[in-house]
Amino acid sequence: MVSTRRDVLPDAMSHRPRYSVEHLLRRRMHGMVLPGFDRIAGPPAPRVTTYIHEAAGLAVAGLGGSHGSSVISCTPCVSRGASAIAETDSGARLFVKALGPGGFGYENEAVVLGLLGDARKSGIRVPAPELLFWDPVRHVLATTEVGHSASLDVVLRTADARAAATASTLVGRALATVHAARVDVGPLAAEGRVHPFPLDDLADLTPSELSSGVGVDFDEFVACVQSVSAELGRLREERFDPVLVHGDLRAPNVLVGQSRDPAEDGAVFVDWELACVGDVAADVGTVLAEALATDLAVHGDIRTAGLWNRIFLDSYQGRSPMDEESVLRSVRYCGTQLIRGTLSRLEHQGTLGRVGRLQLILGSAILRDPARSKGVAW
């Protein structure tokens, strides 16, 4: 039955913490501002801080010798937070994480990876790492390593046209597999263990407050952020068929197989901290935006992203068809994601720069007329 998210989940945004604007802009998680989430509304509960090397040893010991008895090397993954690839004395390689921001992220990921593991046992080829170990006290999580792969932005930047087209096809198939699997998350959602995606609700921030925020260097940004807030508010209220979505398909979280064995090729989605019950259009729109943002960064225009996105969407719809309303919602999410991506640029660089400004212009154009912008998005 078609329903809104509010029909199936409690509203996790009903108790917003009162943080300063500077704090909100600095509190970044995966490139997004999180001004409200029930688990950070109050003072965080004391947690055991575990360094990544200690976390790797803890995970290997917790696996009871099935993946070796000791860690012989531990290579930090700078681009993925407090994480590392650990190699054991048996030759096994694990991906290990320790204590997520706010203390909630890895718990959610452990639950969702467990659900996906159940789907895998039923014969579904789930494009996600396999959960191997989870310590809920120290918040240490270990999964299988995704070897012989590169992130989507790297593939689109460096591959020839044929390889990029193949990558777009693989990502479309993989995402459709996740959405079409119809993983049963109803009971977990009711218990509050699978959380609704913490959308950037910026409606409470006035233009003057945003103008005084860190790194905001021109007035157009204020209007753009407000347009994102309004658009996300409208998207939240619209009707959609709720399924399990990844919630954070930025390019670094989309890995494309680079092995020489065609049987092993495919796309895998990692870092499921923000997975939730939601609208498939949010995931689809994020992938569309990532291709556009990559093209803007490489060429200063979108000369090839339209082709990548058409191939991606055709591949996705071959396994999980979308109606016209869902397609348009995907375009709208694409526009909001382009603008939201500039928040990360502000934090890391202190300025939007040329690429950030291009993203603002393109994202705003898409939001002004989503129907007309379909050709721009793909």
Provide, for the chain, the percentages of residues in helix, strand and coil under a 3-state DSSP scheme, each rounded to the nearest 5: 50, 15, 35
Question: Mean per-residue pLDDT for 372-377?
Answer: 70
- Give 62-114 pLDDT, tens digit per residue: 999 999 999 998 888 766 667 889 999 999 999 998 865 444 557 888 989 99
For residue 148, the Cα-to-chain-centroid distance in whole angstroms is 21
Q: Which CATH number fits domain 5-34+148-377: 3.90.1150.10, 1.10.8.60, 3.90.1200.10, 3.90.650.10?
A: 3.90.1200.10
The structure's pTM equals 0.79
With CA atoms as reference, report the closest residue to 274 among 349, 198, 341: 198
Neighbour tally for 116: CB within 10 Å = 24
Q: Name the residue type at position 136.
A: P
Question: Mean per-residue pLDDT for 239-254?
Answer: 90
Q: Tell me what pLDDT residue 220 has.
A: 62
Q: Tell me what pLDDT residue 130 has.
A: 95
Share of the chain above pLDDT 90, in %: 35
Whether the CA torsion 153, 157, 160, 162 is positive or negative: it is positive
Above 70 in pLDDT, residue 238?
yes
**How far is residue 24's CA from residue 34's CA, in Å, rounded to a whole number?**
7
**How far is residue 201's CA from residue 129's CA, in Å, rounded to a whole number?**
31
With CA atoms as reference, report the closest residue to 210 among 3, 33, 16: 33
Above 60 in pLDDT, residue 202?
no
- Give 325-361 pLDDT, tens digit per residue: 999 999 999 999 998 887 666 656 666 777 887 888 8
Query: In sequence order, what are the residues at sequence separation of 6 or more whose Cβ sits closer than 8 angstroms to the Cβ of residue 331?
Result: 285, 288, 366, 370, 371, 373, 374, 377
Q: Does domain 52-144 have CATH number 3.90.79?
A: no
Judged by average pLDDT, the poorest of 83-92, 117-126, 205-214, 234-243 is: 205-214
The pLDDT mean for the chain works out to: 76
**Does 52-144 match 5-34+148-377 at the fold level?**
no
Q: What is the residue whose two structure tokens read 């479309």?
A: 172
Q: What is the residue whose two structure tokens read 């068809």?
A: 321
**Residue extents of the structural domains in the chain:** 5-34+148-377, 52-144
Higher pLDDT, 265 or 325: 325
Conformational region of residue 182, where left means phi above 0, alpha means psi within -120 to 50, and beta covers everything else: left
